[in-house]
Amino acid sequence: MKLERLVFALLALTLFVTAVPASVLAHGERNQEPFLRMRTVQWYDVKFPDKREYAVNDLIEISGKFRMHYDWPQVLEKPGEAATFLGIAVPGPTFTREALDINGKPVPTSTNDILIGHDYDFRVVMKARRPGDNHIHPMLSIEGSGPIIGPGIEVKVTGSQDDYVKSSQIMTGEKIENLETYNLTTVVTWHAFWIAVALSWALYWLARPLLIPRFIMVHNKEWDRLITPTDRKVGVVLLVSVISVVIGAYVYTDMKYPTTIPLQGGKTIVNNTPMIEPKITVSVDRGEYYVPGRTLTVVMNVTNNADAPVRLGEFMSANLRFIDSSVPAAVANVDSAYPTDYALVGSLKVSDNSPIQPGETRSIEAIASDTAWERERLVGMLRSPDNSFGGLMFFFDDAGNRYIANVGGPILPNFQKSTGE
């Protein structure tokens, strides 16, 4: 009976694991704390390719901008003091990295030049390597803070991994046709050799008396029987042989490949552009989240220092874009290739969205309402020891010009009817 229960439990566990949808497994970024996604790196103007299906060896490019949020959490290492590395978030070695650029400059290693409050252009180029359905994101890894992931798309890679080719030319002029298989025989041979050495050593001792007899020897202090002169001789022979093989292989490799470059540990210098004085300033009076209605309301004072009247068209936070559909310039700013899970047209309402005149200061309420707050698990900001929100406000004038303002502050839960409901 117990055996039947055990078999049933194993079958149930197997069914549960295999029944988990791939779409759930693809969004690990939702497990990150809300303050990490809302108050650190703000990814915007991200451009994705129109295609969603590629063959092995095809290139995929993602580009855009990111801003290091001014209200950086105190519990995290600050950019500039900590090393930062631009990368890609993909499910395993399904793509290879072809190019990483920040402000038009290649960044093959980490950098300490990413600063709070600054904006940066980025470009990521990947090469399809393994067939399958993949979820890919740009990613900024910050020492002491972890990876901050940008918006992502689903892409399908077709073909065979055997067709993948990664060629390169080394310093001596020799061209390597395919890094995937370069010197693969040598790698396999060395692995097999060391596995054989390890197995031989293990089998030698397995042939000796095992646990119980050796325990009795230890208990009786029969040291001569525990380790014999033959054991010592075998150990010395193995030690001398291993050291000789390692030294000999090193000398041979050094003679065959005299020109080598060690793994690089230096930092890349990134050119920072000067911070531009914002023409639209925002001062947050109050932030609240209406729990039953999945609605964030931000009460703020907006001052227009631009030369033309502006309207609030978009609020962006944690990769979600809440867009006011009554502002044509904001709607036009949504690329057709941008994932609809992040571009939420019609989800932003403004209490008074008539044009704010130059020099005018107005108090308005921005109301971002969508189930995405729950889907992206951002409601956890209410349970944080530092329950604050952060993001960017995008204002537009009639000519389509855009003005970006930082926004952030404490947020309180509200179970009563929201102002915008």
What is the arithmetic mean of pLDDT over 126-134?
A: 94
Percent of the chain with pLDDT over 70: 92
Please answer whether residues 292 and 361 qualify as being in contact, where contact means their C-beta atoms are separated by less than 8 angstroms: no
Q: At a CB cut-off of 8 Å and minimum separation 6, what does 66 contact?
A: 41, 42, 43, 44, 119, 120, 122, 138, 140, 150
Give the predicted TM-score (pTM) of the model: 0.81
Report CA torsion sign: 328, 334, 337, 342.
negative
Please answer whether residues 114 and 270 qualify as being in contact, where contact means their C-beta atoms are separated by less than 8 angstroms: yes
Q: What is the structure's pLDDT at 211?
A: 76
pLDDT digits (tens, 9 = 90+) for 249-295: 999 999 988 888 888 788 899 988 888 888 999 999 999 999 888 99
As a whole number of angstroms, the distance between CA 246 and CA 107 comes to 35
pLDDT digits (tens, 9 = 90+) for 191-207: 999 999 999 999 998 88
